[in-house]
Amino acid sequence: MKEAVCYLLLVFLSSFAATVSLVACKQTYIVYMNSAHRTEAHPTHALWYEAHLRSLSIDPARHLLYSYSAAVHGFAAVLHPEQLPLLRRHPAVLNVHPDPLLPLHTTRSPHFLGLSPWPPAPSSRRHSLDPAAAATDVVIGVLDTGVWPESPSFNDAGLPEVPFRWRGACEAGVDFPSSLCNRKLVGARSFGRGYRAAAGGGDADKPREEYASPRDRDGHGTHTASTAAGAPVANASLLGYASGVARGMAPGARVAVYKVCWTNGCYGSDILAGIDKAIEDGVDVLSLSLGGGSAPFSRDPVAVGAFSAVQRGIFVACSAGNSGPSLSSLTNTAPWITTVGAGTLDRDFPATVQLGNGERYAGVSLCSGAGLEDQMVPVVYGKGVQVGSNSSKFCMPGTLDPEQVKGKVVFCDRGINARVEKGQVVKEAGGVGMILANSAVNGEELVADSHLLPTAAVGAKSGDLIRDYVRTSSNPTAMLSFRGTVLGVQPSPVVAAFSSRGPNTVVPQLLKPDLIGPGVNILAAWSGSVGPTGLAKDERRSAFNIMSGTSMSCPHISGVAALLKAAHPDWSPSAIKSALMTTAYTDDNTGSPLIDDAGGSPATPWAYGSGHVDPQKALSPGLVYDIGTGDYLAFLCSLEYSTDHIQAISKSTNKTCSRRLSDPGNLNYPSFSVVFGRRSRRFVKYYRVLTNVGVPGSVYNVKVSGPPGVKVTVKPTKLIFNQVGQKLRYKVTFTSTKVGDPVDMAFGWITWSGEQHQVRSPVSYRWLIS
C-alpha cells in the first residue's frame, strides 16, 4: 500500500564531491472548500479551485486530480508537504486530509427473500413486489471494480427505453467501446487518478494488470452489480453448483457502473469522484460494497459523499465490513447510510470428510471435478520445508515440503493468507486434496470456495478433531466426497461470523448495523478475465461465481430499495430505510431466534441490527421514521464537530449551529442505542416522530421488552393517526435500575402494534461507567 510517492534527486558535484540527496514526497489529499468564498469571477467550482491553487503557486495542471461539485465542494490534488500549510491557513479551506485507501468487502436470493418468481405468476402481481414490472425507471449506481458488460446478466431484452431524465454516459476506454452499454447497463465510467497517483504512474497504467476503462478485471463489481439488478439468466451456475435462474433483486432496474476500485483497493479521491458524477447523472440508488475503519465522518469520503447523495433523494447502501465477529468492527456508520451486515441462505454445498478411523465430518465444497472418494489417501499436517515453523500449518506460499506432501491430502489451518491461495500452495507442492479448518474466530461458519483441487472446508470443532487425528495417528488417511447443491437448509438465515459488529465507536448513541441480507455463498455474474478463485494460475472461466461477504449482502438491499423506490417514488431515503428496518425479522426458518454463526448462540442487534430484510413487508410498513437534511445537521452539531467540518460534510454555508440535538441519540432513527454513564446518566430520554404511510384511522399501541435492569417508559402508549402523512411524537425514558459495568450489554425492543402492521425498533444498552 503506497501512501505517498517519493522522488530521490541525486546531485554529483564532482568525482570527489559528496553526493547530495533530496527527497520530495508527494501525496494525494482531499481538500474541502467553503463555497461562500467563491465569487462571480469564477463561474464554476472547477475554475475556482484552479484559481485557488494558482494563487498559492500550485500548478493545477500538474497537481489537480479531481474537481468536485455535487458530492462535496472541494478537490483532490497531489501535493508536497510544504504546500499543506498554505492550504490549511487559507480561510476558504474547511478541511484537508490524506486520500484514504479503502478495501472491498468481499440464485437463490430472490426466492429466499420472498420476491416473486420469474416470470411472476399472474395471481401474485397485485399483492406483491413484481420485479418484472417494477423499477424500470430506477437507476442503481454501483461503485466498485467496474463491469463485464458481455455478461448475460446485463442483457436488455424486454426493457423499455432508458428514462429520458437520465444524464449518464458510457465512457470508452481500453477494451470498452461505448457501444457496450444498452437499456440495462445505462452508464459506465472509470475513476483512477487517485490510484495512479498513489502508484506513481507505474503498474497502474499496464492493461494486463488493470483495464484503464470501466471493464472489470477483478470480478467483484460485476458480481455486486448483477446481484442488485441483473437480468434473469436461465441455467446459471458455477461449474454446476447453484444451478437455476440467476437474477438480481430488481431485474427491471437500470445499472450505472462507476469503477472506483483497482488492484490494491479503492482510493477516497476516486470514490468521491464516482459519487460526484453519479449524483450529476441522476442515479436513484447508490450501492457501495467497500469501506474501511471507523474514522470521524469529516475524514470519511464515503460518509461525506453519501450525505450529498441523500440530500438529493438518493438512497445509499454500504457494506458493514468483514471484520466480525470482533465487536466494534463496523465501517460506514453514518446515519444517512444504510449499513448492511450479512447472513446465510437456505442453500448449501455439502462435503464429507471421512477419516481412516471411521469418523465422518460435514463441511462444504465447490469442487469442480471428481472427489477423493474411491480410496483412502494419506493426510499430512505441518509438513514444511522449515522444521518448527508454523507457516506450513497455514499452507502459506513456499512453506510446504513437496517430498512430504506429494500425493497426499493436506490439512490447512484457516488464517493469514487467502483461503483459495492455500489450495494453490497445496497443489503446487504436489498435494491431491485439502481439508481447510476454521479457527476459533471463524467458528462453525462455512464459506465455500472453488479451489484448484478437491477441498472440504470444515468448522472449528470438526477441524480440532481432525487435526488431533492427523497428529496422533501413525497412518492418518481420509476420503473427500461432495454432494453438490442442497436447498431448504435449516436453520437459516444465520448471521455470518465474518459480518462486522457493533457497538458503534464513531457515535455510540447510534445502533449499527441497520439490518442484514444474504451474503454467504451468493451466485452472481463474473468477469471473463479471471477464474473463480481470482488467482493468476486459475485458467478456468465461468460466467458466474459464488462469493461471500457483506459486499454481497449490500447489493441485495440496494436492489430491494430500488423496488421500494419504484413502488413509493415520494418516499425519502430515510423513509425507505425505516421501512426496511422496522419490518425486518429476527426468527429463522425453524421459528427460533437468529443464530450467530461465530459461536452458535443467539445473535443480537449488534450483529443483525433490526433483523433480516423482508422485502414484501417493507412494501407496506404502516409507519416510518423520516429524517430530513435539517435533522442530520442538528445531529452533526450534537457531535461537537467544528463548524468547518460540518460545512465540509454538508456543503452548508451556515457558520452556526442554529439547531442542535440535546443528544445524538435523539435523531429520529428507527433504532435506539442507550448508553448509561455517570450518576447523571442513569436515565436517558429520547424522542421520536412516526409518520403514517398506511391508511387513515390507524391506531397503534406500544409494547416494550427488555432486560430486567432497565425500566422503559413510553408516553403516550397509544398513537391514533387520522390521516395518511400525519406525524405523531412520542417520548421514551430509559432508567437504569442497576449499577452497570463497562462490559455490560443488553438488548430489547420497542414495538408499535396496529391492526395490520408491527413497527419494531431494536434497543441496545451499554453501561460505560458505573
Q: Are 482 and 351 in contact (CB under 8 A)?
A: yes
pLDDT digits (tens, 9 = 90+) for 272-291: 999 999 999 999 999 999 99
pLDDT digits (tens, 9 = 90+) for 489-533: 999 999 999 999 999 999 999 999 999 999 999 999 999 999 998
pLDDT for 4 equals 42
Give residue 115's pLDDT band: very low, low, confident or very high (50, 70, 90): low
Task: Kindly name the residue from 45, 220, 451, 757 that is annotated as catalytic.
Answer: 220
Stretch 586-605: mean pLDDT:
95
- The pTM assigned to this predicted structure is 0.92
Q: Are 413 and 462 in contact (CB under 8 A)?
A: no
Average pLDDT, the chain: 90
Task: Kindly name the residue from 99, 137, 144, 218 that is annotated as catalytic.
Answer: 144
Q: Are 222 and 527 in contact (CB under 8 A)?
A: yes
Task: Please tell me which residue, 5 or 260, carries the higher pLDDT value.
Answer: 260
What does the DSSP assignment read for 39-63? -TT-SSHHHHHHHHHHHTT--HHHH
CA dihedral 414, 592, 501, 710 (to 10 degrees): -140
- Give the separation between CA 524 and CA 553, rounded to whole angstroms: 12
> Which residues, other chains included, contact 738 with Cβ-Cβ below 8 Å and sequence gap of 6+?
709
Task: Kindly name the residue from 450, 551, 610, 698 that is annotated as catalytic.
Answer: 551
Task: State how far the alpha carbon of 706 is from the alpha carbons of 338, 608, 731, in Å.
Answer: 25, 17, 17
Catalytic residue check, 220: yes
Catalytic residue check, 144: yes
pLDDT digits (tens, 9 = 90+) for 42-92: 999 999 999 999 999 999 999 999 999 999 999 999 999 999 998 999 999
What b-and-e string marks burial along 1-13, b requiring 16 or more CB atoms within 10 Å of the CB?
eeeebeeeeeeee
Catalytic residue check, 374: no
pLDDT digits (tens, 9 = 90+) for 440-474: 888 888 888 989 999 999 999 999 999 999 999 99
Task: Please tell me which residue, 595 or 677, carries the higher pLDDT value.
Answer: 595
pLDDT for 107 equals 41
The grid coordinates listed for 507 are 457515535
What b-and-e string marks burial along 707-722, b requiring 16 or more CB atoms within 10 Å of the CB?
bebbebebeeeebebe
- Span between the terminal Cα atoms of the chain, in Å: 42
**Helix (H/G/I), strand (E/B), else coil: 197:** helix
The answer on pLDDT for 7 being more than 70 is: no
In 238-324, alpha helices (H): 268-281, 301-311
pLDDT digits (tens, 9 = 90+) for 303-353: 999 999 999 999 999 999 999 999 999 999 999 999 999 999 999 999 999
